[in-house]
Each structure stands twice: as C-alpha cells, then as structure tokens.
A and B are shown apart, each in its own frame.
Chain A
Amino acid sequence: MSRQITLAVALALIGVAAQAEVAPQEVAYGEYGAIETSLTGSPGDPKAGAEVMADRGLGNCVACHAVGALKEVPFHGEIGPPLDGAADRWTEADLRGIVANAKMTFPETIMPAFYKTEGFIRPGDGFTGKAGTEPLDPLLTAQQIEDVVAYLMTLREE
C-alpha cells in the first residue's frame, strides 16, 4: 500500500518535471485550428509516428490517405488527399491541430478527431458496439500525436 503511494508520488513528480501533458479538454486551438505548443513538452519521434500512421489499431491514417514514403505498407486509401509534401503546405502547429482535431481546421471533415474525448453521439466502448462512458480515451495519446506530427514534418517535396 505505502509502496504504491510512494510510486504514485514519484511518477507524479516526474510528470511535473517533464512538464504536464496537455489534456484533450485543455488544448488551445487557434482561430484556424492550429495548436502552437507541443502536447507533451518534448519532441516527437518520427519513426514511432510512421508506425502509428500505418497501424490499424492506432492512427490507421493510410486507411484514408496515400503516403508515398510509406509504400511498404499495404493498401492506402483514397478518402483524403495524399499526404506527400504535407510539411510544405502546413506548419508544425497546423499539423498538430489537424491531427488532434481536424474539424477545427476543416469544419465538417470526415477525418476523425484523434485527441478528443467527449461530445460524441452514442459513443462506444472501442469496437465492441457496446456503450462507452465519456470521457473516452483519446484515439491517440499526446505522445503519439507528437510522434505523428514529427513524421508529417518529414514529408517534404520542395
């Protein structure tokens, strides 16, 4: 019991030291949907980001977007625009906003919000078809969002 408390306190302290993560409900979106500051306070890992983009259970971004640099991943979708050159079109802050909640940048877009936890109609418990209780876990963690943003920033054509 006391060991668990000590551990919890220690973890909390590490958390504070590394700068508290920005919770989904607390994200500040700019007028056009951008998020200026990192959600974790530390830089993302583009390699981990590429994995999140391809993984069906995580971002599954390639379900909708083709990404030339991920051509070893099978079956890229055609629902959204190809992401090649995304970093030429958008700033890091723009991309963070698009991944966290694309509806702030493109109202009504079909693209799901990956860092949103409440305000859904008939939210489910994952893919079980059963009811879920809000706030849900976001589709991606703050770290995974930063990793994806770091990967998107490598997609340059110019």
Chain B
Amino acid sequence: GSAALATAATAQEANLVINDEIEIVTRAPAPEHMEYMSEVVSGWEYRSPETQALQMDDFENPGMIGVDNARADFETAMGPDDQSCASCHESPEALEGVRAVYPKWDEAKGEVQTLEMQVNECVTERAGAEPWDYTGDRMTEMVALISSVSRGMPVNVAIDGPAQETWEQGKEIYYTRYGQLELACANCHEDNYDNMIRADHLSQGQINGFPTYRLKNGALNAVHDRFKGCVRDTRAETFAPGSPEFVALELYVASRGNGLSVEGPSVRN
C-alpha cells in the first residue's frame, strides 16, 4: 500500500526544473554514512507551492538579483594591483563544479575550508585586498554566483582522509543538545522532519540550497547565519559565523546532502 506509493514517489522524474532546463534532484538515497535513513530530501520539498514556483524561473527568483550583482563584482578591481576575480578566473563559469565539493580540505593551509574562506583567501592573499565580511552581502552574493553555475550537479563533499577529523567534530555538534531548550539539530531535522513545529514545516535542514533567498527577511542568507539562528532558537549561546565549530558543522551537514543537487540560490520562506 503506502510503502509502494512511497517508492513510486521516490522514483518519479525531477519535480524541480529551473528555467525548463536545469533538473534538480530533491530526493536522493541517503549517503552511506547515514545508514539509519533511507532518503535525503531538499528543503524545497517542504515549502508551499507558491514558494516552490519562485525557484523554477530565474526571473522570478529574487536571489538571482544577488547573483547579477556578484557577476558585476567579479570584474571589479581590488587591491594594490587592481586585480579582479576575472583576472585569474576567466569567468564565473570557470568555477563550475566548485560549490559541489565545498567545504573541502586545503592542503596548503592544513584545514577544511568553506567557499567563503576560499574566496577570502583569494581576496586577501592573491588580490591583496581587505577581507570581506564572512556573512556580508558582498560575500553571500559571490557565493550565490559560484553556486548558481553548479546548479544541478550532485553535492559531493569528501568526508574521509584529512577532512575526517573535522567531519567528526561537526557530527558531534549536530547531535549535541544545546541551550536551555536542550535541542540538537537532529531533534528537529532528523527525528522530526516533515512534522509541523507550530507554524513551521520542518525540513531536513539541508544546505544544498544555500545561499537561500528568504521571503521572511527579503535577503540572501548565508549558511552560517542560518546555523546561528537555529542555535539561538534553542536559547543557547551561538557560535560565530566563520568559527571552526560552524566550519565543521557545515562540512558535516553538507555531507548529509551528498547526492542532492546544488540548488543555490534557492527560495525559502
């Protein structure tokens, strides 16, 4: 009965197709490290049909305004030698595929780097300019641009090798019950996804759609800002955006979405 229906639903064609062109995988078999779950699901699936529709067409997706800003910024000269991103990376399209594998181990630095850290490395060490604010508009728009050119590609972050220790740390954070409400990410996004918590329809808290354009604050939202909001809502002391804890958490949460498509910038409520 319903089990057969569920399988049929899983096997069906992509529901989310952007610009009648980019097919987005919003349901995928859970990655191997999540043997206790059968399926991972994009946050898009839990939004209202109206919100979902906004993401199907780049002219309707308000997050694409940020992408356009970043496209212009890609050519903006910075630092003492007037370098722009385009001086070294021919075009944003040259960075296709990058979003899908970040956060990623950086051999030279000996640490896991998020896309934001990588961009700031280029801004400061290569162009010699001042670092951009980690969750500022300029950074979030650039990350949205870099995501947009990878839309439809499967998220595929590495969790073994030198990244494993950071991944383990992120996993521990994911299951720690913080704050006066003593709630872990897993309590809401693993044990209760698809349930209503007051007026909110809980998703799996996936990050394949980041940056997300949220109708609630009318802006592109960075991953670490969302983490911060969720930790704050447990009446806990949050971690700072860009902190080692949130970098580790991002790697772990990203790995829970391995197999889903890169979707950013997505639209959420």
Contact = CB atoms under 8 A, between A and B. Distances in A.
B198 A63 contact: yes
B183 A130 contact: no
Nearest to A119: B182
A64 B192 CA distance: 10
B176 interface: yes
Given A110-B191, A112-B182, A127-B235, A60 B177 contact: no
B182 A60 contact: no
B23 interface: no
Main secondary structure of the interface of A (DSSP, over half): loop
A77 B187 contact: no
A75 B201 CA distance: 11
B72 interface: no
A26 B161 CA distance: 49
A124 B239 CA distance: 11
B197 interface: yes
Contact of B180 (A56, A76, A103, A139): A139
B65 to A, nearest CB: 28
Nearest to A120: B180
Given A75-B196, A75-B198, A129 B228 contact: yes
A88 interface: no
Given A110-B187, A127-B232, A121 B198 contact: no
Contact of A124 (B195, B196, B232): B232
Interface string B229-262: 0011111111000000000000000000000000
Contacts of A127: 232-233, 235
Contacts of B8: none
Interface of A: 56, 60, 62-64, 74-79, 103, 110, 112-113, 116, 120-132, 136, 139
Given A74-B199, A126-B235, 16 more contacts: A60-B198, A62-B198, A63-B198, A64-B197, A77-B198, A78-B195, A120-B178, A120-B236, A121-B179, A121-B236, A122-B236, A123-B180, A124-B232, A127-B233, A132-B235, A132-B237
Interface of B: 176-183, 187, 191-192, 195-199, 228, 231-238
